[in-house]
Chains A and B, each alone.
Chain A
Amino acid sequence: MDNHIQHNDIYALAHHHRFQWEEAQQSYVILFPEGMIKLHGGAGEVVKRVDGKATVGDIVADLKATFPDAEDIEKDIIGLFELAVSKTWLRKV
């Protein structure tokens, strides 16, 4: 599978996966059969924006605008997409 992330790629949550805020853990999680992924602060903000419509570029721009003080976040965002796609939490649409 080609996990190279392009700015005009669009992703959605993988089938049978659910993304939700967990109050008890104060974090976002992705739920799927037999497991869950706890997303630390920044990762949750990224996946929250993955909706099957926004491009990776849109999400990077939105996060840069929302967190203007965060330095060099684009690398982290792309890294997260790479990880999420390789783990099949996300699917390309």
Chain B
Amino acid sequence: MTQTSGTQVNNGVVASATQTQPLWLLAEVTYRCPLHCAFCYNPTDYDQHTQNELTTEQWIQVLRDARKLGAIQLGISGGEPLLRDDIEDIVIEAKKLGYYSNLITSGVGLTEKRIQTLKDGGLDHIQLSMHDITEEINNFITNTKTFELKKKVAAMIKSHGYPMVLNVVIHRYNIEHMKAILEMAEALGADYIELANNQYYGWSLINRDQLMPTREQLEHAEAVTNAFRATGTKMKIFYVVPDYFNDRPKKCMNGWGEVFMIVTANGDVLPCHSARVLPNMQFPNVKDADLGWSWKDSPAFNKYRGDSWMKEPCRSCDEKEKDFGGCRCQSFLLTGDAEAADPVCSKSPYHHLIEKAIEDAKNPTLAAQPILFRNDKNSKKIISGELKELTDKFHSLP
């Protein structure tokens, strides 16, 4: 194609080569959640951010300011966003401003009345998390009884004319059900399904031994997915490749401060979901910093823009433009050095850490350890240091 064609990168999010704009705004409006998923990427110390959430007015100001910076895709996430009673107001404002808005929900709290109000308010789509085809695994991994509810919510989403977007986090407990999961999604009338192979941050890193599939399981799941695609299904399938099993790291967030901006429940402005684990970083907060300054000029957002921060082997690597050295958080969490190459990369001097994790995935004793579910009690224990032994397993967990 000539220059008239569109450019599509990573699930269709466009990266601008000339200037950075936070095209994607993720509003993590609350860390409160009725589910307790073992693989949650939320910070393990989230409990300290449940009492100081932004007000409706503050969120509306965030939407206005971000829109001026070029934000256009809005994700309303959490925790469970529907635990707030003002999502309807946020959605109405988003529509007025021209956002394409997406509610990312577990389905808990979505009633006929609320979905109708959201629809009337202009919410563009709803992404529903599903966990498995079996009630047993759904209820186990979320530590709740939500299986029947999720099926009801899926039907409700469809009956209100929404595109059905399902998100399924894939881990060792459901990876062998891939075919049945895809068939279930199709039977529910899903338009899109995101098969999000688990990535290891937050709670999911603590539970890595318990959640990580083996390479064989993963290869099988990938083959099943490809075979399902080949059946000519109309469902769009996004398969998120698990970076541990790749030779090269992911281009995390499409680059630091390139297209994504996250505003957390308490107003922190972050370039990625887990950036607060990084040491010696002061992230701006919308309560006292201008959003434009935060994005363009704050030291935090400029810290890993471009490649001047890189060390070897990234600095002289001929692939550095492809992945920007991978994920800063993953580098820090596993190696203790945020500026090291992402250990997923086979050129990283720490790559053996990833190889060991993959090797460990074959060990049933490790996999059988008890899971630390994401809940307030466990978060409090992590904050107090009571679970230090567990969190110290990885170099620098919060």
User: Is there a chain A Cβ closer than 8 Å to B2's Cβ?
Assistant: yes
The answer, among B2, B72, B98, B238, for a CB contact under 8 Å with A34, is B238
A35 contact set on B, CB distance < 8 A: 8, 11-13, 73
The size class of the interface chain A forms with chain B is 20 to 34
A87 to B11, CA, bound (A): 12
The answer, among B2, B7, B124, for a CB contact under 8 Å with A38, is B7
**With known contacts A37-B8, A40-B4, A24–B21 Cβ distance under 8 A:** yes
User: Is there a chain A Cβ closer than 8 Å to B102's Cβ?
Assistant: yes
User: Is there a chain B Cβ closer than 8 Å to A42's Cβ?
Assistant: yes
A76 contact set on B, CB distance < 8 A: 1-2, 4
User: Is there a chain B Cβ closer than 8 Å to A12's Cβ?
Assistant: no
User: Is there a chain B Cβ closer than 8 Å to A22's Cβ?
Assistant: yes
Within 8 A of A (CB), among B245-298: none
Chain B residue nearest to A22 in the complex (CB):
B72
The size class of the interface chain B forms with chain A is 20 to 34
**Candidate in B5, B124, B162 with the most chain A CB atoms within 10 angstroms:** B5
Within 8 A of A (CB), among B116-139: 124-125, 127
**With known contacts A18-B100, A22-B70, A33–B8 Cβ distance under 8 A:** no
Verify B72–A29 contact, CB threshold 8 A.
yes
User: Is there a chain A Cβ closer than 8 Å to B94's Cβ?
Assistant: no
A88 to B5, CA, bound (A): 14
User: Is there a chain B Cβ closer than 8 Å to A3's Cβ?
Assistant: no
Verify B125–A30 contact, CB threshold 8 A.
no
A74 to B11, CA, bound (A): 29
Verify B12–A32 contact, CB threshold 8 A.
yes
**With known contacts A25-B70, A36-B72, A42–B3 Cβ distance under 8 A:** yes
Verify A16–B124 contact, CB threshold 8 A.
yes
A40 to B69, CA, bound (A): 20
Verify B100–A31 contact, CB threshold 8 A.
yes
Verify B16–A25 contact, CB threshold 8 A.
yes
A42 to B4, CA, bound (A): 5
Chain B residue nearest to A79 in the complex (CB):
B1
Verify B4–A80 contact, CB threshold 8 A.
yes
**Candidate in A18, A43, A87, A89 with the most chain B CB atoms within 10 angstroms:** A43
Verify B73–A36 contact, CB threshold 8 A.
yes
Verify A34–B165 contact, CB threshold 8 A.
yes
Nearest CB of A to B100, in Å: 4
A38 to B12, CA, bound (A): 9
Verify A83–B5 contact, CB threshold 8 A.
yes
Nearest CB of B to A82, in Å: 9
Nearest CB of A to B25, in Å: 12
User: Is there a chain B Cβ closer than 8 Å to A6's Cβ?
Assistant: no
Within 8 A of B (CB), among A50-86: 76-77, 79-80, 83
Verify B5–A79 contact, CB threshold 8 A.
yes
Verify B8–A87 contact, CB threshold 8 A.
yes
Chain A residue nearest to B238 in the complex (CB):
A34
B162 contact set on A, CB distance < 8 A: 16
User: Is there a chain B Cβ closer than 8 Å to A13's Cβ?
Assistant: no
A35 to B74, CA, bound (A): 10
Nearest CB of A to B238, in Å: 7
A29 to B3, CA, bound (A): 15
A46 to B163, CA, bound (A): 25
B residues whose Cβ falls under 8 Å from a Cβ of A: 1-8, 11-14, 16, 21, 23, 68-70, 72-73, 98, 100, 102, 124-125, 127, 162-163, 165, 191-192, 194, 236, 238
Q: List the 9 shortest-distance A-B pairs measured between CB atoms, nearest first.
A: A35-B12, A24-B70, A42-B4, A31-B100, A37-B6, A16-B163, A38-B14, A43-B4, A33-B125
Query: Can you list 21 pairs linking A and B with CB atoms under 8 Å apart?
Result: A22-B72, A24-B21, A24-B72, A31-B73, A33-B127, A33-B163, A34-B102, A34-B165, A35-B8, A35-B13, A36-B12, A36-B13, A36-B14, A36-B23, A36-B73, A38-B7, A43-B4, A43-B6, A79-B1, A79-B2, A83-B1
